[in-house]
Amino acid sequence: MHWHQKDIETVMQEMRSSLQGISSDDAAKRLEAYGPNSLKEKRPRSRLAMFVDQFGDFMILVLIAAAVVSGIIGELSDTIAIVVIVVLNAIIGFIQEYRAEKAMAALRKMAAPTSKIIRNGKPETIRSAEIVPGDMVVLDAGAVVPADIRLVETARLKIEEAALTGESVGVEKNTRALHDENLPLGDRRNMAYKGTIVSYGRGSGIAVETGMNTELGKIAGMLQEEQEVKTPLQKRLAAFGQRLAVVVLVICGIVFGVGIIRGEPPLLMFLTAVSLAVAAIPEALPAVVTIALALGARKLVRQNALIRKLPAVETLGSVTYICSDKTGTLTMNRMTVEEIYVDGKMIEGPRIQGFQGPGEGNEPFTPQSPESLLMTALAISNDAIADKDGKIIGDPTEIALYEAARGSRFMKENLLKDLPRVAELPFDSERKCMTTIHKIITSDTPSIKAEREEPSQDMIEGGTNLSDISLSAKVPPPNIPPLPRGGWWGDRLPPFVSFTKGAVDVIVEKAVHVLTSDGLTAVDRKAILKVNDDMASEGLRVLCIAMGKWRELPQDIITPENIERDLIILGLVGMMDPPREGVEEAVAVCKSAGIKPVMITGDYPLTARAIAKRLRIIEDDSKSIVTGRQLEKLPMEEFEERVEHIAVYARVAPAQKLKIIKALQDRGQFVAMTGDGVNDAPALKRADIGIAMGITGTDVAKEASHMILLDDNFATIVRAVKEGRKVYDNIRKFVKYLLTTNSGEIWTLFLAPLVGLPIPLLPIHILWINLMTDGLPALALSAEPAGRNIMDRPPRHPKESIFARGLGIHAIWVGLFMAGIVILVQAWSLKTGHAHWQTMVFNVLCLTQLGHVMAIRSERASLFTTGLFSNLPLLGAIVVSFILQMATIYLPFLNPVFKTQPLDFNELALSIVLASAVFFAVEIEKWMKRKRTDS
């Protein structure tokens, strides 16, 4: 049995404790046996070990080898460049990992530093870490619960458990034993859990679990054990680097061997092969990827998405599922009155504002209709108040009622001048209702009218004691005649009126009449309950509002039995935390982009279903909704078969969120998970991208996440997905550009000797082309804007290679085309006796790559469609690269360095014309793709 199933006497016996607590000696023994009431950590890795681990990636090892080779052959500039890139990459990775480790530190901060307990029969304050099982813990408003506690006494105790359960409304606590073994945490009303906050009232209970055995401790354990999965980008680049390195080494060996067979100088061939290897290894890839991700992250910050880990930018573009919390992300995180049932009519949404109350005027209270009385009750029969800045403070439910009344110009502060509160019966979970009693001040008597004054704070917040009111002196009880036909107030208003609000089934049993525009009618309980059921089926939280009128108040005592009887029902009010503006459109965009939105909430199934249907996350009442209790009973194998067909999870526990993420990942999906509470942290860490709430999120959730929503809005995630897709597209363009240029160089050096031509390029030429093409143009590709249809296509398949969709084939045929042009120029130059044929070969190969980078800005759209000036950084990079290339040919002091000679006008013009052939060839390829799709 769980602690919530056991009655107080059983708990006392098992814990060997009592209402007087345990003795100090017993506490010392238990502290030694159970250990301190704190969260344990695995021994953290040293910062040095974390930094060294950043150099273990295969791609990084290849780059280090390239740096060593470059140094050996004397190319110190390449060595320095590679070392700088590798170290920069390691620093970025170290910072990301170090910040992620701070999640546990944030978790520990949630523990209360000191707590009130009872030991040896006396109250005392001790460090929370010294609390042991069996201690009697005292809870007051504002206190952080220091351990898992079985409550033994409650007095209007409410605890804010959003960090554990995700529910935004404080939970009313009691002490009754609950018999359901699999009850979700949010429904265990007799328990208080470590790390939650007492928002109202007071209570006490026995500490039954401490330290890592608490629910918070279990989450901490999951957070420590859960490993972050590699991002799609990391997986794809690792595979790319390994394949590329093997291919390059093989080709370099062939080039070296063929050169030796042909009788070329061994040193020259060795330097050529090594230069080719250095050129082919993509040392700029980590830098370009980092810059692309950083640019995307900077743009996302302006769109209210803060990226904590750079790879998360690209991961967003791979997402196939977005698992979102409901409260605050899909909804506004505040209760709003959605429907009112009054005078036999259902009034919805904006029509509620059609009631027009007295507003700011000073007219005395005059009830004119059931609607006006209902709105008056909403305005004054609650404890919500507006502070000096206009912010409404109070319970979320009462704030909703207050704002509904104020929206119809029923102003609480003005109404209390005529209806000051004189007594109240507070809400409790037994009665499921509350009542406020008000004195009616009318204009009938001058002396009474003079009493209309600004309400005191006591009137607004809670009223005064009945004993403080002199009834006979100020308001003599009038002689109210029997109610005339068609009316119900009589000739004069009664001196007192009470307003009661609470659960519909409770109020209906206490009521005898319903107020309509025709007067009082007998209560039709079935009809009222039917309306309640209809409203509740829409996910609304329904309250019944009723009133009583009094010639005089009971002289003995104000009790529920005396006051909450013979009530007159005014109407029903349905409330909901409504969807955020723009979320429905964002969900539609997700679906068109092939991304499935899933709601995971701690709220009740009816509410979850209602919100999901309004947002079109689900289209019908099919089996796409699963509760935490149902999920608990599902074996993992069976759940994995069903997981892709479930759109809504309700009343889920922290471990179940992790189960959902793992099941989807086992099915090959890439999952984005949103969350704000401590309970979300393990799932946020496990998800392919964890998204924490910036406004309502706990420090634990933020530290465990990859991205933080600064506005807590689901629509922001969808904008981030678009940016992530753009970033990945641009990285693919760079990889395509890199592979094709390297392919052109390799084919040139490989094929020229095979057709009987001399080695076409010197090592310095290879390294220069590598430096120039991997430099500014490659970096500028990261600034390419998103394609027009980027959110109209499905996500990439999670296992899709970076060479997919023709990238590898493109690199091979364009590289061959480049090499063919270069070899043709070489053969023609040698045949016609041009002395500087090598300069022409060098120039043509360089310019073909500049033409190629312009053509691959889009995989399908023509450059003439996307526009020459739509990526100004790339245009500028091409111009600068062209100028630098011309400098190696025409500046005399660079000729001996690059072994070049100035070309005449015809030779330069021929080089440019031939190089442009690559641009037009790629444009023709894209035209053929468009034609195949259109047909």
- Which residues carry out catalysis? 325
One-character DSSP codes across 563-607: HSSSEEEEEEEEEE-PBPTTHHHHHHHHHHTT-EEEEEESS-HHH
User: Which of 583, 595, 585 minimizes the C-alpha distance to 721?
Assistant: 595
Distance separating alpha carbons of residues 631 and 660, to the nearest angstrom: 9
Residues 6+ apart with CB under 8 A from 266: 260
Distance CA 566, CA 370 (A): 17
Widest CA span in the chain? 127
Strand partners, 126: 115
Count Cα neighbours of 620 within 13 Å in the Cβ-side half-sphere.
3
Q: Are strands 336-342 and 345-348 parallel, antiparallel or unpaired?
A: antiparallel
**Residues with Cβ within 8 Å of residue 84, at least 6 apart in sequence:** none
Q: Is residue 70 a contact partner of residue 79, using CB atoms and an 8 Å limit?
A: yes
3-state secondary structure of 421: strand
Six token digits for residue 614: 């309004």
Give the integer Cα–Cα distance in Å for 435 and 416.
15
Task: Identify the bridge partners of residue 124 per DSSP, sorted by sequence position.
Answer: 117
Contact 848, 818 (CB under 8 A): yes
Report how far Cα 923 is from the mean position of its chain's Cα atoms: 41
Closest CA to 496 of 433, 555, 578, 446: 555
User: What's the distance, CA 146 to chain centroid?
Assistant: 28
Sheet with 648-650, edge to edge strand ranges: 305-307, 707-709, 689-693, 671-675, 321-324, 596-601, 648-650, 625-627
DSSP conformation class of 330: I
Per DSSP, the three-state class of 516 is strand
- Cα 455 to Cα 416: distance, rounded to the nearest angstrom: 6
H-helix segments, 594-713 = 605-614, 628-633, 636-642, 654-666, 681-686, 699-704
Q: Are 234 and 311 in contact (CB under 8 A)?
A: yes
* Angle at which helices 714-754 and 763-773 cross, to 10°: 160
Contact 834, 895 (CB under 8 A): no
Strands 321-324 and 596-601, sheet pairing: parallel
How far apart, in Å, do the first and last CA atoms of the chain sit?
Answer: 67
Instruction: Please name every residue paired with 689 in a beta bridge, in sequence order, or none if there are none.
Output: 672
CB 233 within 8 A of CB 731: yes
Q: Which of 646, 644, 650, 604 is nearest to 627 (CA)?
A: 650
Residue 491: alpha-carbon gap to chain centroid? 60
CA–CA gap between residue 741 and residue 728 (Å, rounded): 20
